[in-house]
Amino acid sequence: MESFNLQQLTSDMNINWTPVFAATVCGTGALILFWKWRNNQKIQKKILNARRRRDKSLQRAEQAVQQFKIQNPDFESSSIVSLSLSELTGKLQDGSLQPDAVLHAYMEKALEVNKNLNCSTEILMESVEQLTEINTQSKKGLLYGVPISIKDNVGYKGHDSSCGVVGNLDQPAVMDSVVVTVLKKQGAIPFIKTNIPQGLLSYECSNPIYGQTLNPCNLKKTPGGSSGGEGALIRGGGSILGIGTDIGGSIRIPAAFCGICGFKPTSKRLSGQEISSCVKGQKSVLSSIGPLARDVESVALFMQALLCQDMFTLDPNVPPIPFNQKVYESSEPLRIGYYENDGFQQPSPSMARAFRETKALLESAGHTLVPFPPLRLYEVFFEFAFKGVMADGGRTLYSHLKSGPIDSCLRDQAALLRIPGFIKKLLSVVLKPVSPRLSVSLKAGVGVGSIAELWRQHVNIEVLSATHPCTTC
């Protein structure tokens, strides 16, 4: 009797567990789908709010410009935005131009340029309030009354430094970055933030939050990255001076693509405090903060304004070496090292021609051009630069990208970041006979295997820099 009851119970249990299991699977699936839907709704809401903030700031700027025009019937912005920086600073210093007129002139022009190029992430309306502070300053700084643009990732109190990723939205900076603070002390007026590619590490200029920025020289082309919004805005005439960042060409590429001037100082020459990044913490390849402008003289004035005691006091990590005006103005002939081909990437015919023309011009000006062989570029690029940025296997960068939709121009890069390390190693071995460069790239993309390996990489970079000082620039 007992045996019969046990069999009956077992039979009943076998029958009843099937729908329970099915219901559990269905319920779990439904919960996962619901969670994904909810998460997607939150992401879309954050993106929509960011766009609304940008649109609201653009509307407020338009209203401010219209109000200023009503109060000043003789106001003409074109005569102001056509001035060079040296001309503009001269008129501001002698009082023939007032900061409020200059700010509203550039605000009007920036709004016009942005409509065509989509180069702004937000207008900084605090700039109008800053006019009052500037007028009360007893000493006029080198950039007194000059409106400047700043790249999205440069910290400005009360505003996001998104780096083009959703995870950084709704996290406004609690204080100005050091470079912004010093520029304000020099009388400059940050008035607009500019667009960037998602994650910054790209030669494009597009992200799923603010969209794609276009090249003012050709609307079918990119302005370059990652300081693409700066390059587009300055070339379009909407800014006379801007701040960018550069780790592998992010100032130099937009400057070249847009036909303006850009300068990448030696790393740590200017303060990097409160400058956002999607690979924050890696020390193998250091980023730089630098200027973009219409001409070389403007770039030099930017450096002169920042390399002052305020910079050295606010950030003790910056070496207290002021701008050397004597060296800058010197007409002594220079010895300039060059190479026509780095042995790594073949220059295009137009680039090779531009190089030869530049070399000829420098020699005709009395400078000595000295050829030198490229450094161990293959090793430097893959083992030090690429492997350094991807030291964690790209996990930090990918964690930022996956916080929201991934921009179309980065999907291939994101797909590679998703591949597990052991598969990358396997593909590296398989592809080595067919495509050696792709093989080495995949291997370097795995990152470093241990802390000891990371330390060895840092030592090797230090040795290379000490042996070839030009690699630090």
Q: Which string of DSSP letters, residue by residue, matches 119-150?
A: -EEEE-THHHHHHHHHHH-SS--TTTT-EEEE
- Name the CATH superfamily housing domain 56-332: Amidase signature (AS) domain (3.90.1300.10)
Domain borders along the chain are 56-332, 377-472
Cα–Cα distance, 128 to 441 (Å, whole number): 48
Cα–Cα distance, 25 to 368 (Å, whole number): 76
The three-class DSSP label of residue 208 is coil
Within 10 A of 19 (CB to CB), how many other CB atoms are there?
9
Alpha helices in 209-317 (DSSP H): 228-236, 252-258, 296-306, 309-314
- Pull the structure tokens for residue 90: 């001269």
What is the distance of C-alpha 445 from the center of its chain?
Answer: 21
pLDDT (average), residues 431-448: 92
| Catalytic residue (one of 120, 202, 250, 441) | 250
pLDDT (average), residues 408-431: 93
Within 10 A of 220 (CB to CB), how many other CB atoms are there?
6
pLDDT at 322 over 60: yes
Establish whether 151 is a catalytic residue: yes
| Catalytic residue (one of 46, 151, 184, 424) | 151
Establish whether 428 is a catalytic residue: no
Establish whether 298 is a catalytic residue: no
pLDDT at 472 over 80: no
The predicted-structure confidence for 196-217, as pLDDT tens digits, reads as follows 999 999 999 999 999 999 999 9
The predicted-structure confidence for 18-65, as pLDDT tens digits, reads as follows 776 777 778 777 777 777 777 888 999 999 999 999 999 999 999 999
8-state DSSP, 346: P
| Catalytic residue (one of 161, 177, 202, 226) | 226
pLDDT at 7 over 90: no
Position 277 scores a pLDDT of 96
Position 324 scores a pLDDT of 95
